[in-house]
Amino acid sequence: MIPSDGERLFQRQPTNPIIRAADLPYPANAAFNPGAARVDGETVLLLRVEDLRGISLLQVARSRDGVTDWRFDEQPLLQPLTEHPEEIWGCEDPRLVWMPERDEWSIAYTAYSNRGPLVSLAMTRDFREVRRFGPVMPPEDKDASLFPHRIDGRWAMIHRPSPLRGGAHMWISYSPDLRHWGDHTLLIEAREGAWWDADKIGLGPPPLATPDGWLVMYHGAHPTASGPIYRVGFALLDLERPEVVLRRSDNWVLGPQADYERVGDVNKVVFPNGWVMDDATDTLSLYYGAGDSVVALATARLSEVLDHVRHTPALQHRRNSDSSG
């Protein structure tokens, strides 16, 4: 079988990279891996900014069209605080989810503690003031996002613990109150061997509700002699039981091809953790870090993405008991 060409789904913005460190109102080494949201008619990106110490902060950028004329708040929204020792080495890679029941945005981000990366939550209404929830998963764990609403009465979160043995896989966990998490269930496993998503995978942007199921984009870090290549592909989760994976693409849909993706502080990295869906134009805008240095944008038609995903292999439903070991 000739695999369908998923790499044509996304069109890169011709003016990429759309944001660089030099655009910021203060000196910094890199601006990358943004979370994305649409707030009051504007696109808000919560950028990971690596400062000149090597510590990452989360910085708001706003734009009417989501492409040009970015305005930057003077101060970062989240930066390490002494009363939060779990963030001593920085705040990284946020995923932003609007939660109608709470009437606020959740920010799931990687807090870099001196015992390793862990998952922290914070809440905001407007991306001007923020309230920290603190750590919700111990180290090592990252690449987390909440779902926008409760599922069967409980909140759900995808995350990526790093076990001592075997690969690093995506898990889903549940909570009655966003603080106490349990029913940890293996969701999507990294493949093995030569696959693009062998050994280490992790969630990209937050899960997106579609008529077919939760659309999940995830990254694979394919190991090579010159370091990993970060690419992304799709999976589809059952709407009512998101621990059930309905489909998973064999091929990646976006990988490092452009110069700004192939060369940076870390070469050959595309790392999306934010997207914005415009239903009126069927346009999915994917914001991603390129080369751990700059922010880039690529767009796709959601209807074409779903058509592509419908042609990816359907998976056997796994029983919960298969994944508890």
Residues that bind ligand BMA (CB under 6 A): 33, 92-93, 230, 266, 269, 271, 289, 292
Task: Please say which residue, 196 or 230, places its beta carbon nearer to ligand BMA.
Answer: 230
Least distance to ligand BMA, CB of residue 281, Å: 29
Least distance to ligand BMA, CB of residue 194, Å: 20
**What's the CA gap between 245 and 36, in Å, rounded?**
25
Of residues 285, 283, 222, 215, the one with CA closest to residue 246:
215
Task: Please say which residue, 30 or 276, places its beta carbon nearer to ligand BMA.
Answer: 30
Task: Please say which residue, 102 or 228, places its beta carbon nearer to ligand BMA.
Answer: 228
Cα→Cα distances 148→46, 101, 105, 154, 162, Å: 18, 9, 9, 11, 25
Q: Identify the bridge partners of residue 37 per DSSP, sorted by sequence position.
A: 44
Task: Please say which residue, 51 or 92, places its beta carbon nearer to ligand BMA.
Answer: 92
With tokens 């970062």, the residue in question is 76
Cβ contacts of 123 within 8 Å, gap of 6 or more: 102, 104, 105, 106, 107, 130, 131, 133
- Angle 175-125-79 from CA coordinates, rounded to 5°: 85
Encoded tokens for 45: 């990106």
Least distance to ligand BMA, CB of residue 173, Å: 20
Least distance to ligand BMA, CB of residue 292, Å: 5
Task: Please say which residue, 203 or 276, places its beta carbon nearer to ligand BMA.
Answer: 203
**What's the CA gap between 146 and 148, in Å, rounded?**
6
**What's the CA gap between 143 and 202, in Å, rounded?**
6
Task: Please say which residue, 92 or 141, places its beta carbon nearer to ligand BMA.
Answer: 92
Least distance to ligand BMA, CB of residue 143, Å: 8
Q: Identify the bridge partners of residue 198 per DSSP, sorted by sequence position.
A: 191
Least distance to ligand BMA, CB of residue 317, Å: 30
